[in-house]
A and B are shown apart, each in its own frame.
Chain A
Amino acid sequence: MDYFAGVDIGSTMTKVVIMSDRIEVSLIGPTGPEHRKLANRVMEEALNKARLTFEDLTYIVATGYGRINVPFADRQITEITCHAKGLHSLLPSVKTVVDIGGQDSKGIKIVNGKVMNFVMNDKCAAGTGRFLEIIADSLGVPLEKIGEISLTAQKIAAVSSTCTVFAEQEIISRLASGEPIANLLAGIHDAVATRVYSLVKKLNVEADIAVTGGGAKNIGLVKALESKFGQALLVPPEPLITGALGAALMGKDIFAKYMAEGQKPTRSVNKLEEATFFE
């Protein structure tokens, strides 16, 4: 049996998917400043869970912004291509993907399972998971609760600043003047959704639309996005792993292509061992 692994190193989370003709195991762990060490550890854990050894893996593809730092990967492919690939395998009807990650958000247009166009926002934190993290922190609400709380709002307290720092100041002063937290959270989700919507709208948006990334786990954000797009959005069962899944699938495709030509792909010489970060 051939096993393929995809490793997606995002700004806050590292994701690993190991698959054969089905998904064997998927694992999510936090990303630290030392990507290489961490990728190594998450991979080891995933292999243990799947009862496999590193030698059992046929091909490994790394993606995400830390993809260059994965010493044992055979190939690096951008998260744009991998997200599209992974999502298409889970939800083939989707033509537009909205991915909300820790440090960027992006829109991807898929035609026949391939990337047709994409947009990315990463010049500032507005419209990203980091923005929500900072606001949750300044309101003293756990990040995983903010979505649900925002849905209990009596009204949306409009937040006019798109700059994270100014928005935080605005929130704190509104809080001081007695605005309920739920209303403020609704306002913040609305602000992020507006930001993401205007970014993705640059693509020729077509249904179905799916949301992935950490942002998709926030029900408040998904609802806010649905009201902007004016339609229900699809969320895959585990929205964090589409990139890693796509990477594993890309590896599988690459391997199949080599085999069809009667060749073996060149493997990376690196073993699964801790790499020195400062080499």
Chain B
Amino acid sequence: MTDIRDGNGLAAAEKLYTQYGSRARELKASGKKVIGYLSALGPVEIMTAAGVLPIRLKGNVSEAISKGDAYMETIVCPFVRNVFDLAVKGKYDFLDGMVLPHQCDSIDRTNETWSYTLGLPYWHFLNVPHVTDDPSIAFMKEILRIFIKTLEKFTGKAITDQAIADAVKAHNNNRKLMRELYDLRKSNPPLISGSEMMKVLVAAMSIPVEESSALIEAVMKEVKERKPAAANPKAKRIMLIGDQIDDVAVIEAIESTGAYLVMDDLSTGSKMYWQDVDATADPVQGIAERYLRKLKIPTTFVGSADTYQGILEERFGHMKKYVNEFKVDGAILFIYKYCDPYGFEVPAIKSYVEAAGAPVLYLEDEYSTSSLARVKTRIEAFLEMIA
């Protein structure tokens, strides 16, 4: 693998980003089992505890879907279709198996298409509930236990409570480090650019947790040594909101206009790193609570407040905090076409974040760079508008 030394953290991240999955391929060659997963709901602690490498699958926004549509209906969301297309074309041929968590209908209803078409030795559908009351936590714990059993059977090795507790500790530490890296974006200009940050985030989804932590530490050290550049007083500080954005194309479109991308509420970004797993006597309890209750994503969130405003605060309150802490001047809400879970929330997010003081540009687009020029015009016009 790329040696992560002081001073080359960003270069290592760049390589892992450009050659996505290269580390998994290396580890596979040395005998490690690799399990792919989709979405922020993949319980990485359990996979790490099982001794397998979890890798979150991404698509390629620059590659047109050429084979996947022969197996999967085009009504499915463009992101899922793109990832599936890459898998069909052999990009992820190092996988020993996959776990598909029930985040949305596009994942739920294509589970069989994935499993039948790819024919991997291990397959698991994690039937995450979409309500968060106590019986749902009990249900979530049960399905996590079933997941543990299937992994044990596949690897032939027991997953002890101790191993899970250790993995929880390692992933919590990883999240803490990533939050520290995010802190370096609070200065003006930020010490790390939005596209550099995206490369680190993507790289981190594809390597073992200890290596990810070492990578983040190396990047932090490297960017802290940068001489702070003079801030451009006219440059606007932007927050990007959406689900899985895993490519720098959109971010470069934002930053090429001179704006700074300083924060995100993405499922590849802060959503992944802001909530830790509580160390509970039964380690599965903490994991169930983190994924079902703490991780606020559109399909699992259920409000408990009495008023609509209260529910908005529960659901989007963190975005108001980001606007203040990261001094956000404007937000870009980027939603993939046909993504109904995120689509339903658009009016609420827009009005909530605007009330928090940041104008919002809403963009609905493909998971593809084919329409980037048009997206860029909107982004530039938005930045001119808030100038």
Contact = CB atoms under 8 A, between A and B. Distances in A.
17 contacts: A65-B373, A77-B384, A78-B380, A78-B381, A78-B384, A79-B377, A80-B385, A81-B381, A104-B374, A115-B381, A115-B384, A116-B385, A117-B385, A118-B385, A120-B374, A120-B378, A123-B371
B374 A118 contact: no
A81 B384 contact: yes
A118 B381 CA distance: 9
Nearest to B385: A115
A117 B386 CA distance: 10
A104 B374 CA distance: 10
Interface of B: 371, 373-374, 377-378, 380-381, 384-385
Nearest to A81: B384
Nearest to A109: B385
Nearest to B386: A115
Nearest to A108: B381
A120 B376 CA distance: 12
Interface centre among A78, A80, A123, by most chain B C-beta atoms within 10 angstroms, is A78
A122 interface: yes
Contacts of B380: 78
Secondary structure at chain B's binding surface: helix, strand, loop or mixed?
Answer: helix
Interface string A93-118: 00000000000100000000011111
Nearest to B366: A123
Contact of A122 (B374, B381, B385): B374
Contact of A65 (B371, B377, B384, B385): B377
Contacts of B384: 77-78, 80-81, 115
Nearest to B384: A81
Interface in A2-61: none
Nearest to B378: A120
Contacts of A118: 381, 385
Nearest to A114: B385
A118 B380 CA distance: 12
Nearest to B374: A122
Contacts of B371: 123
B1 to A, nearest CB: 39
A39 to B, nearest CB: 17
Nearest first, the 3 A-B pairs at minimum CB distance are A80-B381, A78-B381, A81-B384
Interface in A67-94: 77-81
A165 B380 CA distance: 31
A78 B382 CA distance: 9
Contacts of B385: 80-81, 114-118
Nearest to A83: B381
Contacts of B378: 120
B383 to A, nearest CB: 9
B350 to A, nearest CB: 11
Nearest to A120: B378
A103 to B, nearest CB: 9
Contacts of A117: 385
B308 to A, nearest CB: 21
Nearest to B383: A78
Nearest to B337: A123
A120 B373 CA distance: 13
Interface in A107-147: 114-118, 120, 122-123
A165 to B, nearest CB: 16
A78 B384 CA distance: 8
A164 B384 CA distance: 32
A50 B138 CA distance: 79
Interface string A206-241: 000000000000000000000000000000000000
A77 B380 CA distance: 8
Contacts of A115: 381, 384-385
B139 to A, nearest CB: 40
Interface centre among A77, A116, A122, by most chain B C-beta atoms within 10 angstroms, is A122
A77 B384 CA distance: 8
Interface centre among B371, B377, B378, B380, by most chain A C-beta atoms within 10 angstroms, is B377
Nearest to A104: B374
B63 to A, nearest CB: 20
Contacts of A78: 377, 380-381, 384
A122 B371 CA distance: 10
B380 to A, nearest CB: 5
A184 to B, nearest CB: 30
B56 to A, nearest CB: 29
Contacts of A120: 374, 377-378
B378 to A, nearest CB: 6
A80 B374 CA distance: 12
A125 to B, nearest CB: 13
Contacts of A80: 377, 381, 384-385
Nearest to A80: B381
A26 B385 CA distance: 26
B58 to A, nearest CB: 24
Given A104-B374, A115-B381, 18 more contacts: A65-B377, A78-B377, A78-B380, A79-B377, A79-B381, A80-B381, A80-B384, A81-B381, A81-B384, A81-B385, A114-B385, A115-B385, A116-B385, A117-B385, A118-B385, A120-B377, A120-B378, A122-B374
